[in-house]
Amino acid sequence: MDKLKNGPARYLALLFAALSVLGVLVLLIAVVPDWLANESTSKVRSEDEGRVRTALLASVAGLIAVFGAYVSHRSSRTAQKALETDRYTRAVEQLGNNDQEAVRLGGIYALEQIMRESIDLRGVVVELLSAYVRSETTKPEANLPGQPLPATRTDVAGALKVLGRNPIPDVHVDLSGANLSHANLLELHFERANLSDADLSFAILRRARLDHANLANAQLIQTKLGYASLRGTRCFKATFAAADLHGADLTGADVSEAAFTNANLTSSVLVGVDVTAAHWNGARLIGTIVDPPDRTAPS
């Protein structure tokens, strides 16, 4: 509201300044030529005054053009921001429709378009969709017997895809505590995402990017993580029971107190990982790469 109030005042100040400058220039056009004109003869003097006035008029015209271009740019930018805000508001209204899933999905894809086009609203859209997924997947009524799994609902799955296929530097997805069981996150990007305490059991995360994500206390029971990238990922106390991690890259991951019971880590990369800090009961570790090379693979 303050910005809206200050907008007209700012334009009035600019207009006043422009008029003041214009007044000074008009005065200069009227007076300066007489000062600068050659006083040798009246004819030469008149010609000098004409040249000076022409130069000053050209300067005034240039200044007016520059000011006009600036005002036009400001007006265009203001109109664009107003349009973006209007589109965002309508998309949020669609997202809040409790009756039609198709309407909510339309709002989600409208938000994706806004995220791609508006630098100012990118972070806001990521926060909104993250909150939507957390809320919709943890509602008691969403997890009742006979109901479809929350993460498989069309609208929730759509929101997850939008978040995962539009990674934005320095804007991190927060899905902490979300119930993402059976979610299809194939090849999506969740670098540095907060997935702590999330349930990702039976989810599909093949070739997904989870570098430097937070998976502390997350449940990844029978999760499909083949060839996924978990470089530098925090897996403190995460449960990977019977998960498929074949070919996965866990370089530099923190696996302290993590459980890999009966997990498949065939040909996975554990370079820079303290393998003694995790539980590997029954895990398949054929061809696993550890660091240093002569270190015995976890058992």
Q: Residue 84 in 3-state DSSP?
A: helix
d(CA 219, CA 134): 15
The alpha carbon dihedral of 78, 84, 87, 91 has a sign of negative
The b-or-e profile of 29-48 (16+ CB within 10 A means b, else e) is beebbeeebeeeeeeeeeeb
d(CA 268, CA 156): 31
Q: Residue 219 in 3-state DSSP?
A: strand
d(CA 13, CA 4): 15
Report whether the peptide linkage leading into residue 33 is cis, meaning its omega lies within 30 degrees of zero: no
Average pLDDT, integer, range 184-211 = 98
Could you tell me which residue, 212 or 32, shows the higher pLDDT? Answer: 212
- 243, 221 Cβ separation under 8 angstroms: yes
List strand residue ranges (DSSP E) for the chain, in order: 269-270, 289-290
| pLDDT tens per residue across span 225-254 | 999 999 999 999 999 999 999 999 999 999
**pLDDT at residue 263 tops 70:** yes
- 236, 220 Cβ separation under 8 angstroms: no
Pairing type for strands 269-270 and 289-290 reads parallel
Q: How many CB atoms lie within 10 A of CB 121?
A: 18
Q: What is the pLDDT of residue 5?
A: 46
Residue 178's contacts (CB-CB under 8 Å, 6 or more residues apart) are 133, 134, 137, 138, 151, 195, 198, 199
* pTM confidence score: 0.74
**pLDDT at residue 292 tops 70:** no
**pLDDT at residue 13 tops 80:** no
- Give residue 209's pLDDT band: very low, low, confident or very high (50, 70, 90): very high
**pLDDT at residue 4 tops 50:** no
**pLDDT at residue 297 tops 90:** no
**pLDDT at residue 199 tops 90:** yes
Q: What's the mean per-residue pLDDT of the chain?
A: 85
Q: How far is CA 57 from the centre of its chain?
A: 49
Q: What is the pLDDT of residue 2?
A: 46
Q: What is the pLDDT of residue 3?
A: 44
**pLDDT at residue 142 tops 80:** no
